[in-house]
Amino acid sequence: MNTEPELTVHASGLAIPLTADDARLLGEDAELLAALLGRALHGIALLRAGRASVEDLTEAIERTTELMERLNGIRRAEVREFAAQKGTHGALARAMHLTSRATAQSRRRALLRELPDVMEEWAVGEHD
C-alpha cells in the first residue's frame, strides 16, 4: 500500500495530506474532520493570544467536543477491530500508552460488552 500523500484535503486554512485511496474512502468526512481540527487549533491560538471571548470559547468548545466525540468513535472502532483480529493485550496497552496489559484488557472487555455507538458506526461508514 502506498502511503505517500497524493491528495491534500484543505479546510479552514488547514492542509492534510492523504493518499488517493484514503481520500476516496473518507469522502466528505475528511473535510469535516479537517475543519473540526482547524477550529480546535484556532481555539488554542485564541487562548495563547489571550483574546478569547466567551463567544469564541463557546464555539471552540463546541467544535472541540464534536472532534473529540468523533475521535473517540474512531478509537472505539479501532479497538473493536483490533480485538476481532486477536491483537494482544500487550500490543493494545502500548498503542493506548498504558503501563499495564491488565488495564488494556479491562478497557477492551468493557468496550466489547457494549454495542457500537453512533460515532463508532460513523467511523466504519455505517452511519451518517
Q: Tell me the pTM.
A: 0.84
Q: What is the pLDDT of residues 11-70, one digit of tens each?
A: 556 678 888 899 889 999 998 998 888 888 888 999 999 988 999 889 889 999 999 999
- At 22, which helix (H) or strand (E)? helix 20-26
Domain range annotation of the chain: 1-71
Whether pLDDT at 9 is above 70 = no
- Position 42 scores a pLDDT of 86
Q: Is 10 left (phi over 0), alpha (psi -120 to 50) or beta?
A: beta
Q: Long-range pairs for 49-58 at CB < 8 Å and ≥24 separation?
A: none
- Position 52 scores a pLDDT of 87
- Split at pLDDT 50, 70, 90, the class of 1 is very low
Q: What is the pLDDT of residues 67-105, one digit of tens each?
A: 999 999 999 999 999 999 999 999 999 999 999 999 999
**Residue 119 cell numbers, joined:** 460515532
- Position 2 scores a pLDDT of 46
Whether pLDDT at 10 is above 90 = no
